[in-house]
């Protein structure tokens, strides 16, 4: 996988991660309004107004931000379409990552490329030593995704909570920086 890091964008062969912009509202609404995307999230399917609020909160975020979530648009390079969004939060030597991909582009390895880009960026350009992802224990696709990039379940983390009125259990997965962290 070839990666580039220029002007607050990260690129691989098939995807580019860039700042979210005001022109992204319709594309973000298209997938964040779907029950299948919101199912394991803390939020319900988005309204158009919520998509606009999301864009306003995340637009023009820079990769240099620390201690708060950075939202980035996922662009399919061949189709030149926004196909999802990802999030990155860097605090000292730890980072948390996650992503949402439109169902039209799922099961193509694109989310894996996104996690690789974010991990490579953190390990090669920041002081991050550990990358983490948190998911609902029922979200098998998310678990498979994190494991596919070498993340391992943190054995002493199991968060029990109520989400959308139902009991759920969250798992944490992590990846530690090593000499050969060029994630394949």
Q: pLDDT, tens digit, for every residue of 87-112?
A: 999 999 999 999 999 999 999 999 99
C-alpha closest to that of 95 among 73, 125, 74: 125
Give yes or no for a contact between 9 and 44, defined as CB atoms under 8 angstroms apart: no
Please list the alpha-helical segments (H only) found in 22-170.
25-32, 35-38, 48-58, 110-125, 140-148
- Which candidate, 89, 101, 125, 78, places its Cα nearest to that of 31? 101
pLDDT of residue 180 exceeding 70, the answer is no
CB 17 within 8 A of CB 118: yes
Angle between helices 25-32 and 48-58 (to 10 degrees): 120
End-to-end CA distance of the chain: 7
More confident residue, 65 or 28: 28
pLDDT, mean of residues 41-47 = 93
Q: How confident is the model at residue 161 (pLDDT cuts 50, 70, 90)?
A: confident
Name the token pair of 143: 């678990």
Q: What is the mean pLDDT of residues 150-176?
A: 89
User: For residue 1, is pLDDT > 60?
Assistant: no
pLDDT mean over 5-17: 86
Q: Which domains does the chain carry?
A: 4-132 (3.40.630.30)
Pair 129, 176: CB distance under 8 Å: yes
pLDDT score recorded for residue 182 = 53
**Does residue 184 register a pLDDT over 50?**
no
**Cα–chain center distance at 112:** 10
């Amino acid at each position: 996988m070839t990666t580039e890091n220029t002007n607050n964008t990260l690129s691989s062969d098939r995807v580019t991660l860039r700042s979210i912009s005001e022109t992204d509202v319709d594309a973000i609404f298209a997938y964040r309004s779907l029950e299948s995307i919101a199912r394991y999230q803390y939020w319900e399917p988005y309204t158009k107004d919520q998509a606009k609020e999301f864009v306003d909160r995340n637009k023009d975020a820079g990769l240099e931000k620390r201690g708060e979530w950075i939202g980035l648009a996922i662009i399919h390079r061949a189709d030149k379409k926004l196909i999802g969004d990802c999030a990155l939060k860097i605090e000292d030597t730890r980072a948390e990552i996650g992503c949402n991909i439109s169902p039209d582009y799922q099961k193509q390895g694109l989310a894996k490329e996104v996690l690789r880009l974010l991990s490579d960026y953190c390990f090669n350009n920041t002081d991050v030593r550990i990358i983490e992802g948190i998911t609902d224990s029922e979200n098998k696709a998310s678990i498979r995704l994190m494991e596919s990039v070498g993340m391992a379940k943190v054995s002493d983390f199991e968060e029990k909570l109520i989400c959308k009125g139902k009991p759920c259990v969250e798992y944490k997965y992590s990846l530690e920086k090593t000499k050969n962290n060029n994630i394949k």
